[in-house]
Amino acid sequence: MSLLSSVFGNRTQVINLDSDTFNEQMKNDKDAVLIDVRTLAENEEQRIPNSILLDIMSPVFVKELDKLDRSKSYYMYCRSGSRSHHAAKQMLQMGFEKVYNLADGIIRWNGEVE
């Protein structure tokens, strides 16, 4: 561990939340932005309301992330939690500070879907 990371912490550590905690925290966060990192086809099949689609497989994914307001809180999800975990880690490496992952993805989501 470097001196800087021991002083400032490890900014690449993704916070994984279970469905209930994710939903509750997001509802109480005035700066919350919900991001679906799945494909368009997956998003059209089922999605969490008010989510923004940013497909992690898109060649412009990182460019789209870079346009986001770093002062907001980002709640990421995918099908099972893997792709969104990687997307959240990418965001932390880009300087985002408040990034949360739906640990088991939409397949274990207990909240509303459309």
* Catalytic annotation, residues: 78
Which pair of structure tokens corresponds to residue 33?
A: 């932005």
Amino acid at 9: G
| Residue 105 CB contacts under 8 Å (≥ 6 apart), including other chains | 77, 78, 79, 80, 81, 82, 84
Please say whether the dihedral angle defined by the alpha carbons of residues 9, 10, 11 and 13, taken in this order, is positive or negative.
negative
Backbone angles phi and psi of 53, in degrees to 5: -90, 120
